[in-house]
Amino acid sequence: LKCFLFQGYGCGPQDGLQISAMTLGILGYRRKTCSEDVQTVDCKGHPSDMTPPKTLPKPQHSTGDVSRGMVPFAVVEAVSAFVWSHAKANGKRAAASSPPTPPRKRRRASPVEHGCVDRRGVLPTFQLSQLSQTQPDEDTVPSVEAELLAQTRKVFDTTMHDTGSIEGDAPAEVWNNVRNMTLAAVSYWREVSLQDLSKACGYLARFAEHQRRLYWKHPRWHGVNLGGWLLVEPGPSAQFFDKHGPANCEWDLTQRMRERLGVEGTQQAFKEHRESFITEEDIRKIRAFGLNAVRVPIGYWGVESAEEDGFASPCLEFLDRVVEWCAAHGLQVLIDLHGAPGGESGERPCGRERTDWHWEDWRFDQSIALLRVLAQRYKGNPCVTGLSVCNEPSETVPAEKLCEFYDRAVTAVRESMPPDEVAISLPVYRSERLDDIWRIWCQSYDGFARHPNVCFDLHLYHCFGQWWQRQSLGQQLRMTKRHRKILRRVPAVVGEWSLALNPRAHAEAEGPAEEDQALRDFAAAQLDAYNQASHGWFFWNWRDSPKQPGWDLGNCIERRWLSHGQLCTNN
């Protein structure tokens, strides 16, 4: 059925209804066979209510809450497949009957370095309107769109009634999201047929956003990273490195510790660090600041033993613990596989700094197996709402290979974590590479239609690389506006950002008071941009070296560079 739907064959209204009915039959069978002995867990429960991770409740497909504008995910899946296949077929027919349109000429971009946004791509050119903006009435849309809307309405009503979701007509809010999703799909494929991908990306983001509104019950992530805890780094874990170093990365530190402390002594030292670095009091404070989520980086050696690679023993019991604390205090959790087997780069954030690293060292199959372990362990846990499949992949990894891995990784995670329960983030790291990844993900994999509730993960730092070192504060602030435009055109989460600036920007301030104001302006500009991200943002980090206050959230709040009001989500 999926192969048929996504091949773009033109079907009549009755064909669509029959396909929807068949799809619902299969989904109903799957739900019935997978829902025996389903338990429920209160998302605002206490640690005593949480069962051990290995016996957590089995996941349930969302039954929807039509009064809140949400419907069962089975309905969303069936209607989305119908809409996408017909919109795609219409776009292909339009392309076949129209003369080829030459692609727009784009001015040559100057070379960019770390952190600068690429001016060549499809992303920075299209001025996408706000999703809340009034949509055209059905009387004003072209006949092709009007016909598809009528067919979609029949499929939607049929699937809603067949699943017993509602008696009578659905609320206007629900149908408006379905309608806007349909129009966005038609517009996307129209622009693809015209080879105008700058507009197409905006319509695709609109399609994904309206689709997500139909089933996603959680607020966007407004959170902070717990870096330096389950994967140690010199900045966040400065005291630990000062005590047991010197070292450049966790692998290097582990070797030095084993030489002095032995294997058992090293394990004990890591355990003591993990016991004290993050406690339940930290989680309580994070919630008190108004945040609603944490991103928890962990290396592959924290999930399974990696003695042969020279890392310390696994630490999943600490991940279990923070999940329980977050459930007790009303926080969402995004689990981040921050260090992949073999490394997704040769940089220290992935656990081992290597100058001889090559992208083929990354063990993709083992990474997917580990993601299955994490998905199976935390499936059905209502506070685990996100999973990141890796962190900051090197730009030397071919884009085609990266997208292939992402497709396999999402498929593996979805075996245990359905889209209406968990969002999956796909790291791109530098925004200028987003263009190539977006093209391949959409054109080769039908990515956002094939895999709902998936987003790209961007890390938007303003301090790394020579290009950023040359920028004034005013140029830094203008760059946040460009980031704002990008974040409105792709499903995205800003997985990491900070208030760290280059020395030139700091030097412009005349005195401490002016420097504080500059950092407040910088924080406000970033939040204005990152609040546009469909899935939210995470500040890096909860705790960092006292020598680097711009990386420490508590320090930023204490110095009044950030305020509770800016962070508060009211959720």
User: Is the CB of residue 277 less than 8 Å from the CB of residue 543?
Assistant: yes
User: Is the CB of residue 304 less than 8 Å from the CB of residue 369?
Assistant: no
What was the pLDDT predicted at 549? 94
Dist CA 186 CA 199 (whole Å): 12
- What is the DSSP track for 271-337? HHHHHHHS-HHHHHHHHHTT--EEEEEEEGGGTS--GGGT-----HHHHHHHHHHHHHHT-EEEEEE
What was the pLDDT predicted at 554? 96
User: Is the CB of residue 338 less than 8 Å from the CB of residue 231?
Assistant: yes
Residue-range domain boundaries for the chain: 2-37+63-100+113-213, 221-567
Written as six digits, the tokens of 181 are: 């999703």
Which residues make Cβ contacts (< 8 Å) with residue 569, sequence separation at least 6?
Answer: 219, 220, 222, 290, 291, 292
Written as six digits, the tokens of 61 are: 């497909």
What was the pLDDT predicted at 74? 93
> What are φ and ψ of residue 567, in 5° steps?
-90, -25
Cis bond upstream, residue 142 (ω within 30): no
Residue type, 537: W
Dist CA 263 CA 261 (whole Å): 7
What was the pLDDT predicted at 140? 56
**What's the topology of domain 221-567?**
TIM Barrel (3.20.20)
Closest CA to 182 of 237, 141, 236, 121: 141
User: Is the CB of residue 556 less than 8 Å from the CB of residue 563?
Assistant: no
Closest CA to 289 of 386, 222, 336: 222
List residues bridging with 384 in a β-sheet. 333
What was the pLDDT predicted at 238? 96
Q: How far is CA 387 from CA 61, 390, 421, 458, in A?
A: 18, 9, 11, 14
- How many C-beta atoms lie closer than 10 Å to residue 22's C-beta? 13
pLDDT tens for the chain, 571 residues: list them: 443 344 443 444 445 445 555 555 555 444 433 433 333 333 333 333 333 343 333 334 455 666 677 899 999 999 999 999 999 999 888 888 776 655 555 444 433 334 443 334 556 543 333 333 444 544 556 777 899 999 999 999 999 888 877 666 778 899 999 999 999 999 999 999 988 888 999 999 999 999 999 999 999 999 999 999 999 999 999 999 999 999 999 999 999 999 999 999 999 999 999 999 999 999 999 999 999 999 999 999 999 999 999 999 999 999 999 999 999 999 999 999 999 999 999 999 999 999 999 999 999 999 999 999 999 999 999 999 999 999 999 999 999 999 999 999 999 999 999 999 999 999 998 888 999 999 999 999 988 999 999 999 999 999 888 888 888 889 999 999 999 999 999 999 999 999 999 888 777 878 899 999 999 999 999 999 999 999 999 999 999 998 999 999 999 999 999 998 999 865 5
Dist CA 109 CA 120 (whole Å): 6
Dist CA 270 CA 207 (whole Å): 46
Which residues make Cβ contacts (< 8 Å) with residue 152, sequence separation at least 6?
Answer: 79, 82, 83, 178, 179, 182
User: Is the CB of residue 29 less than 8 Å from the CB of residue 87?
Assistant: no
